[in-house]
Amino acid sequence: MTAHDPSLAPARTAAGTAGALPDLREPERVPAVLAGIRAAALLLALGCFAGTLWEGLADRRIALAFGGLVAVGELSRRSGVEAREDAPLAAAGGLAYALLGADGGSATHDGAFQVVTVVCAASLLGSVSHIADGRRPTLDRLARRALTVGFAAVCFQPLYNRGVLKHWSGPAYALLLIALLVLTALCDAVLAAAQARSRTGWPFGPLLRDELRGLLGIGSAVCATGAVMALAVAVVGLWALPVFCLPLLLTQLALRRYAAVRTTYRQTIASLARATEIAGYTPAGHARRVAVLSRAVGRDLGLSGAELTVLEYAALMHDIGQLSLVDPVPAGATAVLPPAEQRRIALLGGAVVRQTGVAGAVAVVVERQADPYREQPLAARIVRVVNAYEEKARDSGPGGPLTALEELRLATAGDYAPEVVESLARVLSRDCLTLRAAG
């Protein structure tokens, strides 16, 4: 059960055209947390492989069946799809194998070493085609799978093989499997959030909250399928695997179609946002830069995934009200207009957004971006600050970014939310923008 961390372009892309100097950073180093998780997964895999060689491979037919299931699940993985789990069949198969106690009524003796070895080997085997096509497998995703499957197997297999669960049957046994799956899912969510925190520097709490929300979707389907597979194989044997794989495959297909619809929807909004650029009201790429940087600031301030989507759409369409102007504002710089004119343009933009069929929450943010910041929702505060920064830094020469930040800080008493301005400064600093003082 791996998390997709729907990714966005680095904030330096959004601000790179706003007066920043070329990025002269040293080659990126792997953050300590990521390196630690990868090292732990590698040590676990090597240790389990050595243990399997020492003890020998038991129940080869079962190992081959579950290994094939995990490999097929990896082969069916579709890169680039925005989903929490891009290989749900492989994840469910690995969990089912970790929690497998019997095969058609006969006890199994696979053990935790063999489970982890088979799942890791099958996951790597299933990734060969993606590597051949030039799509590198996500190392962090594979590391989390090894650790979460290892956690489930270590919690279950020793107890089962020692006969501790011999007298557990019926609802009690099913509840035990569910409890182990819940703990495994929580372990996976914590690992995913820690990896995302280490990669991006975003707050751990909101990232973990997003991961836990993701468990209610495809995550719950993976856990349920894993539990059902383990219970079904225990009763009717390995023939249960293809039967119970079908619902998850259909779910995966539906999620792919949903992701395609969301992608089309996002592209439609981006096309609408470009109307002001095509008409000459705003500079090329302005809306996109504001959207990318706004999303990064929203992440830093702890917005959830759904809130970030609303923020991104509102940032893309924040200038659409300028189409109502007879004479374009020079360079589309609305931040220098009188407050009354800013509010008029914002209200007109909100009306346009509502007519396009975009969610009402997006229209509210567009409408309120020119209100006094103390009365604005957080998303509107972010759009206002980022838009002003982009406009001020765009044509200010080499010192533009730093000068723009200083101007925003000086205006926090009345025009811009202080916490948003400081968050913007953190985002720019974290992405290692080379800012040089003017003069």
Given this model, what pLDDT does residue 434 score?
35
Residue 134 backbone zone (phi > 0: left; psi -120 to 50: alpha; other: beta)? left
Which residue, 305, 304, 302, 319, is CA-closest to 383?
Answer: 319
Q: Hunting for tokens 């003017």 — which residue is that?
A: 438
Q: What is the pLDDT of residues 266-295, one digit of tens each?
A: 888 888 778 877 877 778 888 888 988 999
Sorted by where each begins, the domain ranges of the chain are 11-15+28-262, 274-430
d(CA 401, CA 408): 11
**φ, ψ at 107 (rounded to 5°):** -65, 140
Distance of alpha carbon 86 from the chain centroid: 11
d(CA 196, CA 142): 15
d(CA 315, CA 330): 20
Stretch 52-74: mean pLDDT, rounded?
Answer: 89
Which residue, 180, 150, 179, 187, is CA-closest to 2?
Answer: 187
Given this model, what pLDDT does residue 149 score?
93
Q: Which class for 398: exposed (0-12), middle (13-18), buried (19 or more C-beta within 10 A)?
A: middle
Which residue, 186, 46, 217, is CA-closest to 116?
Answer: 46
Higher pLDDT, 7 or 327: 327
Which residue, 137, 103, 100, 134, is CA-closest to 120?
Answer: 137
Q: Where are the alpha helices (DSSP H) in 99-170?
A: 111-126, 128-132, 139-161
Per CATH, is 274-430 categorized as 1.10.3210.10?
Answer: yes
Q: What is the pLDDT of residues 120-147, one digit of tens each?
A: 999 988 887 766 665 655 778 888 999 9
User: Any idea what DSSP says for residue 201?
Assistant: -
Contact between 349 and 321 under an 8 Å Cβ cutoff? The reply is yes
d(CA 25, CA 434): 9
To the nearest whole number, what is the mean pLDDT of the chain? 79
pTM exceeds 0.75 for this model: no
Where are the extended beta strands (E) located within 144-301? none
Handedness of CA 194, 196, 201, 206 (dihedral sign): negative
